[in-house]
Chains A and B, each alone.
Chain A
Amino acid sequence: MERGTREYALWSIGIVLVLIFALIPVIWLISVSLKPPESITDGSFLPSEVSFENYESLFEGGIDESPFIKPLINSILIALSTTVISIVLASFTAYAIARLEFPGKRAILAGALAIAMFPPISTVGPLFDMWRSIGLYDTYLGLIIPYLTFSLPLAIYALVAFFREIPWELEQAAQVDGATPFQAFRKVIVPLAAPGMFTAAILVFIFAWNDFLFAISLTSSDASRTVPASLAFFTGESSFTEPTGSIAAAAVVVTVPIIVFVLFFQRRIVSGLTAGAVKG
């Protein structure tokens, strides 16, 4: 069939274009990170010779001297803490919204939505001032608190959507058998809800991992500075060399694991990102 072949060719072109567009910056970063320092300005898309020098210099000197190790640890710990706290708080709220009848339910959903639209820059100045006076400036907690605030709407909406799909008869059965509402939640619903909670956790983690504005505003040293912020402060070997190679290497280190993770759990992420986007 002539039309079939043409359609097939058109789809192929479209798919290849999307693929190239999506992949170019990633391949380019990996390529730059693998170039030896003397050929970093050669401008070729792929490295002519492969060297791991940029990676070695990134980790050189251990935790005290390396400009990257401490921020990497900070990023991981801050993003993980945010994820755990956010998912626990959001599950409580999402359970109440999906399951219980109470006045104020719509107000909480609307408020969460409003916070998702809130411009973070509007809170940066007051937080900077408040954190300095109560000692949260340049601490883990000083970043975890704003991340919590801005990730909760994300987590609540995703979890409400998942919780509404759960077969609630099981919970009623547990209550008939004498379980309290809290026991019914913990013993019956949590295991059923775990996949949805995991999805919401991925979204929250990526959000906290990605933040730059709070990270540069509320930190001043490697005590709590995360990777995105530290990249902006990278310097070259001397004041005349650009830190291009080390930034590229650091970028690859923080990007590749997340991409592998995202691709591995892509179905969950798509359902989480679009949860509640449409009500038929």
Chain B
Amino acid sequence: MEASAPAHPSPPAAAPRISQKTRSERRLAWMLCAPAVIAMLAVTAYPIGYAIVLSVQQVDLRFPEEGGFVGLDNYGAVLSSDLWWTDLFNTVMLTVVTVSIELVLGMAIALVMHRAIFGRGVVRTSVLIPYGIITVVAAFSWQFAFAPDSGFVNKLPFIAEDMDWFGDRVSAFAVIIMAEVWKTTPFMALLLLAGLVTIDSQLYEAAKVDGATAWQRFTRITLPLMKPAILVALLFRTLDAFRVFDTIYIMTAGAQDTESVSILGFNQLISRLNLGLGSAVSVLIFICVLAIAFVYVRGFGVRVEEGRPGR
């Protein structure tokens, strides 16, 4: 993006008279934006409102005759269940671990793409492969690789031949984390690379002349100047990691206490058809996401307007 400030400063709000041209421009703009805005609100604002309504009622599609307003009972049931807290712990742990590994790996790959003396194209090409693969497909591939009967991993040296990766919580999480890291590191690397290319290379030359080592140049120049790009990448990846669903559903379906909050919500809503309880879970997840975004924006000062959506 160009470095200039917004190209069109807004006219003062209290302008006494709006010209005919301004008015027609505004009308055109609103007409152009309306369809997309409606499409975006129709499946977010309205359903979240509806979820809140459902969450204070007893709605179980298996027992349609029962029902009615139950106040905060559903929330009480969720918040007093061990399952919710186990799943929340799992989700937070997965988020923190995967995003941390991704940050380090993504930074390494971004540096390779930025400063490689050769092979830049090869690296960029190969990091786009995980991006292009369906998450479910990648999860199956890793699951087959680690499966005790058909996988190649247990045939590798130093690994027990009968290791049951998905039979134990810790090893199951290790495989899930690996699959998630594989799938989403490229996005992190590309976001970091976009921040890296904006750093003036003269700074490095000057630091070299002053005798700074490569590590000093990285910690004193690269990291501070990339802080905004790093925080934006972290914000998006954190929120994306927090909704982890596909990989866990395919690999363990939540067995061995590997459930995430999204799996819990799905089980209540779709498998058990308990819309009241499930909606309470949904609303709680929504509140968690709001809290994470709030911490990043207020706590770390991420300037969200400069961020971008995507995964």
Contacts of A269 on B, CB cut-off 8 Å? Answer: 128, 131
Residue contact A124 to B127, C-beta cutoff 8 Å: no
Residue contact A278 to B8, C-beta cutoff 8 Å: no
Q: Which B residues, 232 to 258, have Cβ-Cβ distances below 8 Å to chain A?
A: 232-233, 236, 239, 242-243, 245-246, 249-250
Q: List 23 A-B contacts (CB under 8 A).
A: A18-B112, A25-B138, A26-B133, A29-B141, A96-B29, A100-B25, A101-B22, A103-B10, A106-B305, A111-B37, A115-B44, A117-B293, A117-B309, A122-B51, A124-B282, A125-B269, A149-B43, A152-B36, A157-B308, A157-B310, A181-B28, A263-B128, A274-B191
Residue contact B1 to A278, C-beta cutoff 8 Å: yes
Contacts of B289 on A, CB cut-off 8 Å? Answer: 117-119
Residue contact A122 to B282, C-beta cutoff 8 Å: yes
Q: Which A residues, 10 to 33, have Cβ-Cβ distances below 8 Å to chain B?
A: 11-12, 14-15, 18-19, 21-26, 28-29, 32
Residue contact A125 to B265, C-beta cutoff 8 Å: yes
Residue contact A116 to B309, C-beta cutoff 8 Å: yes
Question: Which of A51-59, A60-68, A250-258 lines the interface with chain B?
Answer: A250-258
Residue contact B40 to A111, C-beta cutoff 8 Å: yes
Contacts of A112 on B, CB cut-off 8 Å? Answer: 40, 309
What 3 A-B pairs have minimum CB-CB distances, sorted nearest first?
Answer: A116-B309, A149-B43, A126-B47
Complex formed: what's the CA distance from A90 to B50 in Å?
A: 26
Question: Which of B94-102, B113-121, B205-213, B215-223 lines the interface with chain A?
Answer: B113-121
Q: Which A residues, 242 to 267, have Cβ-Cβ distances below 8 Å to chain B?
A: 242, 244, 247-248, 251, 254-255, 258-259, 261-263, 266
Contacts of A101 on B, CB cut-off 8 Å? Answer: 8, 10-11, 22, 25-26, 29
Q: Is B149 an interface residue (CB 8 A)?
A: yes
Q: Is A170 an interface residue (CB 8 A)?
A: no
Residue contact A28 to B266, C-beta cutoff 8 Å: no
Question: Besides A148-B43, A275-B308, 19 other CB < 8 A contacts?
Answer: A11-B118, A18-B126, A23-B126, A40-B150, A43-B150, A90-B36, A92-B36, A101-B8, A112-B40, A126-B50, A153-B40, A154-B309, A157-B308, A242-B149, A242-B150, A251-B137, A274-B191, A276-B306, A276-B308
* A87-131 interface code vs B (CB 8 A; 1 in, 0 out): 001101101110011111110111111011111111111111110
Checking A12, A32, A149 against B150 with a beta-carbon cut-off of 8 angstroms, the contacting residue is A32
Residue contact B51 to A248, C-beta cutoff 8 Å: no
Contacts of B13 on A, CB cut-off 8 Å? Answer: 103
Q: Is A134 an interface residue (CB 8 A)?
A: no
Q: Is B300 an interface residue (CB 8 A)?
A: no
Residue contact B39 to A89, C-beta cutoff 8 Å: yes
Q: Is B136 an interface residue (CB 8 A)?
A: yes
Closest Cβ neighbor of B129 among chain A residues: A22
Q: Is A145 an interface residue (CB 8 A)?
A: yes
| Chain B residues packing against A (C-beta within 8 Å) | 1-3, 7-8, 10-11, 13, 22, 25-26, 28-30, 32-33, 35-37, 39-44, 46-48, 50-51, 54, 59, 108-109, 112, 116-119, 122-138, 140-142, 144-145, 147, 149-152, 154-155, 182, 186-187, 190-191, 193-195, 198, 228-229, 232-233, 236, 239, 242-243, 245-246, 249-250, 261-262, 265-266, 269-270, 275, 278-279, 282-283, 285-286, 289, 293, 304-311
Residue contact A117 to B239, C-beta cutoff 8 Å: yes
The smallest beta-carbon distance between B21 and chain A, in angstroms, is: 10
Residue contact A149 to B44, C-beta cutoff 8 Å: yes
Q: Given A89-B39, A100-B25 in contact, is the A277-B232 Cβ separation under 8 Å?
A: yes
Checking B122, B155, B191 against A44 with a beta-carbon cut-off of 8 angstroms, the contacting residue is B155
Residue contact A212 to B54, C-beta cutoff 8 Å: no
Checking A23, A232, A263 against B249 with a beta-carbon cut-off of 8 angstroms, the contacting residue is A232
The smallest beta-carbon distance between A136 and chain B, in angstroms, is: 11
Most chain B C-beta atoms within 10 Å of own C-beta, residue among A29, A146, A254, A269: A29
Checking A11, A97, A129, A258 against B133 with a beta-carbon cut-off of 8 angstroms, the contacting residue is A258
Complex formed: what's the CA distance from A233 to B254 in Å?
A: 17
Residue contact B1 to A279, C-beta cutoff 8 Å: yes
Contacts of B48 on A, CB cut-off 8 Å? Answer: 122-123, 126
Closest Cβ neighbor of B189 among chain A residues: A18
Complex formed: what's the CA distance from A45 to B141 in Å?
A: 12
Most chain A C-beta atoms within 10 Å of own C-beta, residue among B30, B51, B289, B310: B310
Q: Given A119-B286, A128-B270 in contact, is the A153-B124 Cβ separation under 8 Å?
A: no
Complex formed: what's the CA distance from A97 to B7 in Å?
A: 12
The smallest beta-carbon distance between A193 and chain B, in angstroms, is: 14
Residue contact B126 to A19, C-beta cutoff 8 Å: yes
Complex formed: what's the CA distance from A113 to B302 in Å?
A: 13
Most chain A C-beta atoms within 10 Å of own C-beta, residue among B22, B138, B275, B309: B309
Contacts of B233 on A, CB cut-off 8 Å? Answer: 277
Complex formed: what's the CA distance from A132 to B10 in Å?
A: 45
Q: Is A273 an interface residue (CB 8 A)?
A: yes
Residue contact A29 to B137, C-beta cutoff 8 Å: yes
Closest Cβ neighbor of A4 among chain B residues: B117
The smallest beta-carbon distance between A146 and chain B, in angstroms, is: 5
Checking A96, A126, A150 against B33 with a beta-carbon cut-off of 8 angstroms, the contacting residue is A96
Checking A44, A150, A156, A242 against B152 with a beta-carbon cut-off of 8 angstroms, the contacting residue is A44
Complex formed: what's the CA distance from A251 to B135 in Å?
A: 11
